[in-house]
Structure 1
């Protein structure tokens, strides 16, 4: 239950951070949120199962969508 509560706090914090203006278009905050979110996602998946982990992954990716888009573009350039 604690990992799910912390994931909820992470989701709220990421949304609040996104509301404030930023000079670097929120990239610094995104890196910090990713660094906190990945271990938290692993912990929540370990405790609650893969379905909950996939739901939380989708929720986090919808909030931090630009890092995901840029990673996808970079991956496609590397493969093709």
Structure 2
């Protein structure tokens, strides 16, 4: 139980440290790595601690990686024919 939540906390700290560092590509490469690590991490937390903790970790990760989510949402809307905002 503690190991999954500890790993999620470590992921959140690492994501915030990466966000503070300067980047030429606006942190997109780091975001891809964080997403690739974060998705299985959310599954691990959910499997060990239940869906409530899984949703909390998912919300925390989404708050850190909000711009990739915003761009993904806009891409989905453009594919469905909805007007862009």
Q: Same fold (TM over 0.5)?
A: yes
Match of 2:27 in 1: 26
Match of 1:47 in 2: 48
Match of 1:70 in 2: 71
When the two structures are aligned, how many residues end up with a matched partner?
80
In the superposition, the TM-score normalised over structure 1's length comes to 0.96
User: 1:76 and 1:57 mapped to 2: Cα distance?
Assistant: 22
Higher relative contact order (CA 8 A, sep 6+): 1
User: 1:44 and 1:24 mapped to 2: Cα distance?
Assistant: 30
- 2:24 is paired with a residue of what secondary structure? coil
Query: Gaps spanning 5+ residues in structure 2: where?
Result: none
User: 1:55 and 1:28 mapped to 2: Cα distance?
Assistant: 25
Of the two, which has the highest radius of gyration? Answer: 2
How far residue 79 of structure 1 moved from its aligned partner, in angstroms, is 2.4
In the superposition, the TM-score normalised over structure 2's length comes to 0.90
Aligned-CA RMSD value: 0.7
Following TM superposition, the consecutive aligned residue runs of length 4 or more in structure 1 with deviations greater than 4 angstroms are none
